A = this chain, B = another copy of it.
Amino acid sequence: MQVINNIHEHSSHIEVIKDGSIVTPIGFKAAGVHAGLRYNKKDIGAIISEVPANCAAVYTTSHFQAAPLKVTQESIAKEKQIQAVVVNSACANACTGEKGLKDAYQMRKIMADYLQIKEEYVAVSSTGVIGEYLQMDKIEKGINNFIFDATLKNAEAFQEAILTTDTVMKKCCYAASINGVTVTMGGTAKGSGMIHPNMATMLGFITTDVNISSEVLQSALSKVIPTTFNQITVDGDTSTNDTVLVMANGMAKNEALTEDHPDYPIFLELLSTTCESLAKQIAKDGEGATKLIEVKVSGSNNDEEARVIAKQIVGSNLVKTAIYGSDANWGRIITAIGQTKTAVNPARVDIAIGDIIMLKESEPQSFSEQAAIDYLNQDFIQIFVDLHNGDGQGKAWGCDLSYDYVKINASYRT
């Protein structure tokens, strides 16, 4: 089956920085403290840059964008640069009407005053329960307790402060050579599922010292989001607070990157690698998840259709429960493909789970049930689909659906 090997992985241009973080790129610092929004966990944090950073961001497409998203969009629109982002967990400040919007502005002002910078240099972000108001006294106290530095300890304090039902911190750090200059990119994220209407949110924060304009950065981010963050799903819904924010402060002093620059593709790959790493960490830490599922589709009409099919498969409750139960139930994969609005030749489909081929040219193949169970008992499961219909390729990531998913979600709010 062609697809098993032909989707390229990261090239040798990208170097992994072990123990790197959001404060590894030159000029970034972080902090995270316990302000009392949650019982016994850090709940507010911030990342700052020594100089105003160019930036790019993408937001939820939900009709109900939360208040902090409106304030952050306004900040970025005003100066096209930001110098700080402050984030609280426990309360999403979503569906909170006029008062919620006022609170988000106030949170931005407190942070700007504390740093003595322009309000418009501050982005704000919130995650937690929908429909409750921010406790502004605690937000203020928390911000005033920030002590910023560039240690791993402080990066981890920030990483922890943004978590909700997550069981692990998500982070990565990579470097690449741009025009002979080493540029570094660090990232962190939260989200124990793409969609947590009540815990509301997938958040991603990426820092880099690359020299790149906000416009080129936004274009690059928009290019990589469809194949990375938008390709994970835990429960099929889109939160009111989803945000991915990239800050590029230029302190690596490389020649400014443009889309025509010969090393722009390397930067795209650096950004894509960072986003994909964070996205997979979120999928793996999906609520109740015991396994990370990766679906690779090839042979579709085009890349977009491949991604649609891959996401449909990885989002199917029946596929997710089958994988939880280590059941090589390829009929459920067929069903997920079958209902997509894509071009599919029903007589020419190949399906493999791991390297075990189960369907070839739409004819069932005999396979060892025991080998399939052994493979499915692992915690990283790959599903391959080849449609023999074109050159389109795409990937998506998700997790299995377990008893714990039901347990977590049947009783979260009360």
- Chain A residues in the interface with B (C-beta under 8 A): 60-65, 92, 94-97, 129-132, 195-198, 200, 235-240, 315-319, 321-322, 324-325, 327-340, 344, 346-347, 359, 362-364, 369, 373, 401-403, 405-407, 409-414
Docked pose: A21 CA to B334 CA in angstroms: 35
* Interface contact A331-B237, CB-CB below 8 Å: no
Residue of B nearest to A333 (CB): B197
Cβ contacts under 8 Å, A132 to chain B: 364
Q: Which of A63, A335, A411 counts the most chain B CB atoms within 10 A?
A: A335
Write the nearest CB–CB distance from A262 to chain B, whole angstroms: 39
Cβ contacts under 8 Å, A413 to chain B: 322, 327-329, 331
Docked pose: A142 CA to B336 CA in angstroms: 32
Residue of B nearest to A340 (CB): B63
Docked pose: A197 CA to B94 CA in angstroms: 37
4 tightest A-B CB contacts, nearest first:
A325-B410, A197-B335, A130-B331, A62-B338
Write the nearest CB–CB distance from A192 to chain B, whole angstroms: 12
* Interface contact B236-A317, CB-CB below 8 Å: yes
A and B contact pairs by CB, cutoff 8 A, 18 listed: A62-B338, A63-B344, A64-B335, A95-B331, A97-B363, A130-B331, A130-B335, A131-B334, A131-B364, A195-B318, A197-B318, A197-B334, A197-B335, A237-B335, A240-B335, A317-B405, A321-B410, A325-B409
* Interface contact B338-A238, CB-CB below 8 Å: yes
Cβ contacts under 8 Å, A346 to chain B: 63-65
Write the nearest CB–CB distance from A245 to chain B, whole angstroms: 20
* Interface contact B402-A94, CB-CB below 8 Å: no
Residue of B nearest to A61 (CB): B339
* Interface contact A410-B131, CB-CB below 8 Å: no
- Report which of B131, B324, B401 forms a contact with A331, defined as CB distance below 8 A: B131
* Interface contact A329-B197, CB-CB below 8 Å: yes
